[in-house]
């Protein structure tokens, strides 16, 4: 099987790691691919990349046809504060790009489209009494979540009318080496804290980044995405992907200090965090795709630290992540 992956960041690499191990071929499509980063994550074989933007419809169609891709995994787009900082540009890239992906899938006869959405699609203004299920209302006013919700609605309309298979995955906050490169302030915070624990240093963390959140280790997400791409089409088309519990900033700090007691985390004032106080219900993905997270938060942080050590050695030779 050949899979076209839009976006060559941590999420795309997470999927590719599983696909390559299964003997599948991955083609990355990204306007600014990072070959050294992908080589570090994936090794030298089983993948290739092309420099193109999802806003370029002819390039999408050509990539699918030339490489005979049977499946498309759509992860490209601006994330987090980069959306809010430029709603106009993000509309063009995120929504326009998703429209192009859907149209390219239709025109080329791709069988299945796996779309990487987010837990941010859920309307956090509404009261919640239990872990959030997939049928919870979508949309919460801010650009990132609303644009992700709009992308899902676009794809639902396309899949229903043109009869291709669609699976939408809604990850919790993904952590792993390289996530901050796409604009994730949470990803940058996590890497800063993990580096502090690794080096036994003190770092400053803005108060706004001390939110409680649900997390998912990048390797666990990769397994979930690969299941979505390869399993028989499930009954439902949307799946939460997370640990199923909330980790507070205090718990995160304590886990890192348990690894290295010399680490210190100083909170600097800016504005109070907008905590995501409720986790997602992950029973549907367990029942229909047979997936469950393998990494506890503590184990995931240790794995992250080991990867950072390996990355320092890899990029020390003059290459940049």
pLDDT of residue 37: 94
Instruction: State which CATH number among 3.40.50.300, 3.40.50.1100, 3.40.50.1980, 3.40.50.720 fits the domain covering 2-178+214-244+277-294.
Output: 3.40.50.720
Average pLDDT score, the chain: 93
Spatial neighbors of 275 by CB under 8 A, at least 6 apart, are 211, 212, 213
- Here the tokens at position 2 are 């050949």
Cα 295 from Cα 194, distance rounded (Å): 16
In which element (H, E) is residue 47 found? strand 47-51
* pLDDT tens readout for residues 98-149: 999 999 999 999 999 999 999 999 998 898 888 999 999 999 888 889 999 9
* Beta partners for residue 112, in sequence order: 71, 165
Q: Are the CB atoms for 54 and 76 separated by under 8 Å?
A: yes
- pLDDT classification of 179: cutoffs 50, 70, 90: confident
Cα 279 from Cα 259, distance rounded (Å): 25
| pTM for the full predicted model | 0.95
- Here the tokens at position 59 are 């390039």
Q: Are the CB atoms for 192 and 205 separated by under 8 Å?
A: yes
* pLDDT tens readout for residues 16-29: 999 999 999 999 99
* Beta partners for residue 204, in sequence order: 266
- Here the tokens at position 207 are 């108060």
3-state helix, strand, coil in the chain (%, to 5): 50, 20, 35
Could you please report the per-residue DSSP string of 23-92? T-EEEEEESS--HHHHHHHH-SSSEEEEE--TT-HHHHHHHHHHHT-SEEEE--S--THHHHHTHHHHII
> Which sign, positive or negative, has the C-alpha torsion 59, 65, 68, 72?
positive
- Judge whether residue 321 has pLDDT over 50: no
- Judge whether residue 190 has pLDDT over 60: yes
- Judge whether residue 236 has pLDDT over 50: yes
């Amino acid at each position: 099987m050949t899979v076209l992956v839009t976006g060559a960041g941590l999420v795309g690499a997470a999927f590719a790691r599983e696909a390559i191990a299964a003997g599948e071929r991955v083609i990355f499509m990204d306007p600014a691919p990072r070959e050294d980063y992908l080589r570090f994550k994936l090794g030298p074989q089983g993948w290739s990349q092309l420099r193109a933007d999802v806003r370029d419809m002819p390039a999408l169609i050509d990539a699918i046809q030339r490489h005979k891709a049977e499946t498309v995994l759509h992860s490209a787009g601006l994330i987090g504060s980069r959306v809010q900082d430029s709603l106009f540009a993000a509309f063009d890239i995120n929504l326009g790009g998703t429209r192009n992906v859907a149209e390219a899938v239709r025109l080329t006869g791709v069988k299945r489209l796996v779309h990487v959405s987010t837990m941010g699609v859920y309307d956090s203004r509404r009261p919640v009494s239990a872990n959030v299920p997939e049928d919870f209302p979508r949309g919460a006013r801010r650009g990132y979540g609303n644009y992700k919700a709009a992308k899902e609605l676009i794809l639902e309309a396309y899949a229903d009318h043109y009869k291709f298979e669609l699976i939408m995955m809604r990850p919790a906050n993904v952590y792993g080496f390289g996530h901050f490169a796409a604009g994730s302030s949470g990803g940058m915070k996590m890497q800063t804290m993990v580096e502090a624990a690794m080096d036994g240093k003190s770092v400053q963390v803005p108060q706004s980044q001390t939110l409680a959140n649900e997390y998912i280790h990048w390797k666990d997400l990769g397994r979930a995405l690969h299941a979505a791409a390869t399993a028989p089409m499930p009954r439902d088309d949307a799946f939460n992907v997370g640990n199923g519990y909330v980790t507070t900033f205090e718990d995160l700090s304590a886990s890192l200090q348990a690894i290295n007691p010399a680490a210190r985390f100083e909170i600097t004032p800016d504005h109070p965090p907008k905590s995501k106080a409720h986790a997602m219900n992950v029973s549907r993905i367990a029942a229909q795709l047979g997936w469950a997270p393998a990494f506890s938060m503590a184990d995931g942080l240790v794995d992250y630290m080991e990867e950072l050590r390996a990355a320092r050695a890899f990029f020390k030779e003059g290459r940049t992540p």
